């Protein structure tokens, strides 16, 4: 009985330490929040019209896709300078704080 209990415990420990979960997490981190077409449309609306709702959607998108977070900065600079958007200034500020690490 003790041998069976030890065998089950060792099996449980080994099964909990498998690495397939790490590959699943890496794959999930590469998924997009919006499609490329939607992101291009949002960028165009921000740059040409100064659409603050579109900029908010871009902030959400780049917040949920951290591997593309540097693409928000040029749009934020244009929004802050050309369209006087305070949210863009905040995004620029946090972008610089993130790069200071």
Domain boundaries of the chain, sorted by first residue: 2-99
pTM of the predicted model as reported, rounded to 2 decimal places: 0.66
- Across the chain, where does the E strand assignment appear? none
Residue pair 39/58 in contact (Cβ under 8 Å)? The answer is: yes
Can you give the pLDDT of all 101 residues of the chain as single tens digits? 666 566 656 565 666 655 455 544 454 455 677 889 999 999 999 999 999 999 999 999 998 888 888 899 999 999 999 999 999 999 999 988 886 65
């Amino acid at each position: 009985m003790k041998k069976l209990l030890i065998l089950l415990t060792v099996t449980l420990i080994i099964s909990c330490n498998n690495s397939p979960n790490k590959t699943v997490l890496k794959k999930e981190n590469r998924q997009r929040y919006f499609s490329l077409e939607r992101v291009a449309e949002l960028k165009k609306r921000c740059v040409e019209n100064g659409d603050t709702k579109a900029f908010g959607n871009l902030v959400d998108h780049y917040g949920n896709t951290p591997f593309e977070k540097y693409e928000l900065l040029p749009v934020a600079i244009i929004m802050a300078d050309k369209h006087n958007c305070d949210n863009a200034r905040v995004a620029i500020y946090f972008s610089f704080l993130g790069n200071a690490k």
